[in-house]
Amino acid sequence: MVYVLVGLAGFIGAVLRNFIGIVFSEKSTVFPISTLIVNLLGCFLLSWFTTVVFKKISFPAHFKTAIATGFVGSFTTFSTLSVETVHLLKSSDPQLGVLYVMVSLSGGLIMSRLGFIVGKEEKSL
């Protein structure tokens, strides 16, 4: 049962990630903004889910796995971040590749922290 739920949630996450990629790929041809957006949003969502949603609503463990691993795992993408970074580093503007990595890492940590902070605020309301 857990495999089916992870697969379904993964399908939804992947489709949503692809939709965001289509929307934002037209906006920027130089900087991989769509990957940055989904990865930062995924960092926020995972920490928010674990801080608020999974504590307020009694989900069975297999639903938590489906949301965290299936949905968020397929929505975000480390492999695309890596490939895009290598591409940027090999391009005529390698500083953009370094900026991309720095924004992705620091932004991911900040968004995760923000998800926990928002989650704690919601718990106290």
How far apart are alpha carbons 27 and 35 in whole angstroms?
A: 13
pLDDT, residue 124, reads 62
Q: Quote the domain boundaries for residue 20.
A: 2-124
Does residue 10 have a known ligand-binding role? no
pLDDT, residue 1, reads 85
pLDDT, residue 71, reads 96
How far apart are alpha carbons 119 and 113 in whole angstroms?
A: 10
Averaged pLDDT, 93-102:
93
pTM: 0.89
How far is residue 76 from each of residues 14, 15, 52, 58, 59, measured CA to CA in Å? 8, 11, 20, 25, 22
Does residue 85 have a known ligand-binding role? no
pLDDT at 11 over 80: yes
Residue type, 124: S
26 versus 4: the higher-pLDDT residue is 4
Residue type, 11: F
How far is residue 121 from each of residues 10, 42, 48, 88, 101, measured CA to CA in Å? 29, 19, 11, 39, 30
pLDDT above 90 as % of the chain:
74
Averaged pLDDT, 96-109:
96
How far apart are alpha carbons 66 and 49 in whole angstroms?
A: 12
State how many domains the chain has: 1
Q: Which two tokens stand for residue 108?
A: 């991911």
